[in-house]
């Protein structure tokens, strides 16, 4: 599991979210530092995304890790980077969990400050195309995606990100919004209820979206880590 910190955070923050589960289940945690305030979450190969991919490849070789069970998760900047990694390296990452991020292709801030825009692209197809453009010609399976976003988020603003990040990954996996199965649930360990929509094919969950009223940008204290491991 590549665990990715928020802007101004550090690797130790990202490790603490999953350390007890790593101890319990035996998976390896990789915790990169952004090398600046934020991760450079552009939806393309190279730069920090390539460095992380190289670290994954090294551990697969040196620690005999299972190459088909590599995942990413992060908060805020780390959530943006999660979406970028799943877009740019679908042959490396089996899936990701994004907690308050932006869709792949929306990040503009390099690794210094928050910088993002969802202006100019309004359709799920258009956002899906940004994922496909991150790995031109790729014909394999795309990574599964779990998305969390609080409706009161004004940092990576919910109203400007949610329709596009969810539509993007539904499109990548060939779903329409009407294909989703909706539920209101309280995940194990969570401090509140979430509205969940699940998209499955042939019994395999491929996209899962979660949003909740009154929840702001900081999802770290919301007790979601156990459900992410699930």
Of 3, 44, 73, 76, catalytic: 76
Q: CA angle, corner 217, sides to 199 and 117, nearest 5?
A: 75
Q: Which residues of 15-28 are buried (b: 16+ CB within 10 A; e: fewer)?
A: eebbeebbeeeebe
- Residue (of 148, 42, 131) closest to 90 by Cα position: 131
In this structure, the number of other CB atoms found within 10 A of the CB of residue 197 comes to 19
Token pair for 44: 């393309």
Tokens 């989703």 — which residue?
Answer: 180
Q: Answer for the pair 29, 19: CB distance below 8 angstroms, yes or no.
A: yes
Instruction: Give me the helix-helix angle, 77-88 and 47-62, nearest 10°.
Output: 70
Token pair for 207: 């996209």
Q: Known catalytic residue: 73?
A: no
Residue 59 pairs with which residues in a beta bridge? Answer: none
* Alpha-carbon dihedral angle through residues 169, 170, 171, 173, given to the nearest 10 degrees: 80
Q: How far apart, in Å, do the first and last CA atoms of the chain sit? A: 13
Enzyme catalytic residues: 76
């Amino acid at each position: 599991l590549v665990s990715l910190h928020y802007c101004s955070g550090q690797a130790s923050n990202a490790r603490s979210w999953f350390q007890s589960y790593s101890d319990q289940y035996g998976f390896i945690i990789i915790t990169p530092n952004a090398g600046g305030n934020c991760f450079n979450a552009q939806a393309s190969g190279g730069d920090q995304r390539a460095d992380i991919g190289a670290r994954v490849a090294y551990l697969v070789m040196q620690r005999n890790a299972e190459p088909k069970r590599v995942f990413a998760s992060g908060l805020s900047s780390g959530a943006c980077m999660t979406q970028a990694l799943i877009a740019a390296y679908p042959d490396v990452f089996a899936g990701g969990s994004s907690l308050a991020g932006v869709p792949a292709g929306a990040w503009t801030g390099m690794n210094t400050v928050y910088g993002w825009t969802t202006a100019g692209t309004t359709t799920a197809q258009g956002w899906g195309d940004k994922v496909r453009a991150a790995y031109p010609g790729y014909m394999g399976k795309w990574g599964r995606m779990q998305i969390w976003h609080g409706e009161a988020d004004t940092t990576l603003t919910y109203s400007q990100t949610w329709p596009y990040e969810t539509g993007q990954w539904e499109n990548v996996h060939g779903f329409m919004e009407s294909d989703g199965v909706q539920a209101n649930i309280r995940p194990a360990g969570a401090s509140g209820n979430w509205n969940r929509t699940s998209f499955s094919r042939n019994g395999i969950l491929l996209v899962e979206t979660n949003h909740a009223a009154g929840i702001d940008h900081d999802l770290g204290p919301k007790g979601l880590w156990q459900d992410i491991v699930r």
